Amino acid sequence: MASSSSSFTFFRRLLPLCSSKQRAKFSPFSVREGLGGAFRGFSSVSSPEQKISALKEEVRRLEDDSSVPDDEIEKIRREFDAAKQCFLKIPDALKRMPKMNPQGIYVNRNIRLDHIQVYGFDYDYTLAHYAANLQSLIYDLAKEYMVNEFRYPEVCMNFKYDPTFPIRGLYYDKRRGCLLKLDFFGSIELDGCFYGRRKLSVEEINEIYGTRHIGRDQARVLVGLMDFFCFSEACLIADMVQFFVDAKLDFDASYIYQDVRKAIQHVHISGVVHQKILLDPHRYIVKNEQMLFFLKMLKEKGKKLFLLTNSPYYFVDGGMRFMLEEYMGSSDSWRELFDVVIAKANKPDFYTSEHPFRCYDFEKDTLAFTKVDTFLPEKIYYHGCLKSFLQITKWHGPEVIYFGDHLFSDLRGPSKAGWRTAAIIHELENEIRTQNGDSYRFEQAKFHIIQELLGRLHSTVATSQNRAAYKTLMDELNDERRQARGIMKNMFNGSFGATFVTDTGQESAFSYHIHQYADVYTSKPENFLLYLPEAWLHAPYDIKIMPHHLKNGIRAVWGLPVC
């Protein structure tokens, strides 16, 4: 027979099922003292067996007492009805809530800029800003290469790049052919899983993967699409998969990835995309006076600057001259801004290899054979490795900050080497502007209030008497939440939603990698002009999701009580 103490333990475990008012009435002290009449006849029971039997009977009575959860369900219903009345108009309080700066610098790990003595930069999508139509150019060139070289059907030439489809940070499943958006913990975003251009249902996802969470074995066949060129890559992969599905042809999903990847790489390595850009720079390159001001400011403050890029020198030179020619004197050269210029660096292998540096003669287009043991001003260097770079420059550890757009190729190596890192994420500006809009904040506030009410409802025990009311309220809350999620998602991207968060408000896997490899992130390097060179950049102490997301004040917007 169970002991008296174990019975009290069993009873205490049931207390959370009761309201706070009833928990006060039925505390262990009231049990011992026989108070309140709740435990009818308890004080008259003398033997331990009788006490335990009476206690069990009282617990059964409490479980059958539908007034306990009924009261809580009715309370949640009233709050939901009150909230729905508030949802009919955007409250003025939304306009008073603080807004995030689209040009802000967002901090994952504290940085003192007065300690930074060396600034390094990638070129593409870091120093150089490109127009949106560059993605169409890359897509078309890669598509043509797949048809001409890999013998894909001629009909594929009719494919068009769709800028509304992809976002950065997706994963492609080489085994199953699905494009996935994952959250911070590696779980599939249920509204962001596509097979070709068709979104899969929850039932199809469960059938394919068995679970939302991507395990270690499944992760081995996933490849991340993380840099800014991945937009054209993701779209071309999806279009090719869709072609084979529509044609009812058997195909291996890994071959499609390999072929698209080779085609994209050919477009860059062969230089064909570089030539197209330089032939019509007004169409593809964005002029940027602020970048020149930023670089000059750093030089005036005595900072050292270096350029480290995978692009060839002629492409970098042509792009820099086009971007800055209107703002520099006729006798000035952009190379004067940099202490070291390294092209065709072959990142990320640059950070782990032991390749020697070669001095590049850009007039003769030749590489010297002499050993490079010092970096001379106005000279251009090719290849090389981090080990030699550190030996020659003596620039070590946290005095160096490197800016790049690719979390793996650009920032993972420097981060592991002890440099500070800054991720350049151009889409950050538009996403913050969307977040700052009243219409988004309105839906976000609705979503969080409904989420809270759902959480409280889930913690309420349904009985046979109130099961219908419980289910009706849950269905209504879920429908309202689903509607708010859909509206917020479509404000960013109709297929995959926001880059940094999932539809449920969780950080995305892309955000996870930003946390891993970027000390700070911003939309453009020149945003640092908004901060003093001696500024201390501090990470918010209460980070729950990305630092640029607003996390409080939601219930207060409509004057609802804060629980």
Residues forming the active site: 122, 124
Question: Is 140 labeled as ligand-binding?
Answer: no
Burial of 76 (0-12, 13-18, 19+ CB in 10 A): buried
Q: What are the CA-CA distances from residue 150 to residues 123, 146, 260, 543 (Å)?
A: 31, 5, 10, 48
Alpha carbon distance 557, 438 (integer Å): 12
Return d(Cα 526, Cα 75) in angstroms, integer.
52
CA–CA separation, 133 and 522 (whole Å): 22
Helices (H), 381-498: 386-393, 413-417, 427-436, 438-458, 467-492
Listed in sequence order, the DSSP H helices in 462-552 are 467-492, 509-517
DSSP string, 233-298: HHHHHHHHHHHHHHTT----HHHHHHHHHHHHHHHHHTSHHHHHHHHSHHHHEE--HHHHHHHHHH
Integer Cα distance of 310 and 123 in angstroms:
8
* 542 marked as binding residue: no
**Which candidate, 150, 151, 181, places its Cα nearest to that of 165?**
181
534 DSSP assignment: T
What is the distance between the alpha carbons of residues 449 and 455, in angstroms, rounded to a whole number? 10
122 appears as a binding residue in the annotation:
yes
Half-sphere exposure of 531 (CA within 13 A, CB side): 20
Question: How far apart are alpha carbons 119 and 402 in whole angstroms?
Answer: 6
For residue 333, give the nearest of 266, 270, 380, 389 by alpha carbon. Answer: 380
- Give the pairing of strands 380-383 and 357-361: antiparallel
Structure tokens given for 120: 């390094």
Two structure tokens written together for 549: 């997301």
Using left for φ > 0, alpha for ψ between -120 and 50, and beta otherwise, residue 345 falls in alpha
Cβ(403)–Cβ(121) under 8 Å?
yes
How many Cα atoms are found within 13 Å in the side-chain-facing hemisphere of 334?
Answer: 26
536 closest CA partner among 111, 118, 104:
111
Instruction: List, in sequence order, every residue forming a beta bridge with 193; answer none if it has no partner.
Output: 180
Numbered residues of the known binding site: 122, 124, 405
Question: Which residues contribute to the annotated binding site for Mg(2+)?
Answer: 122, 405
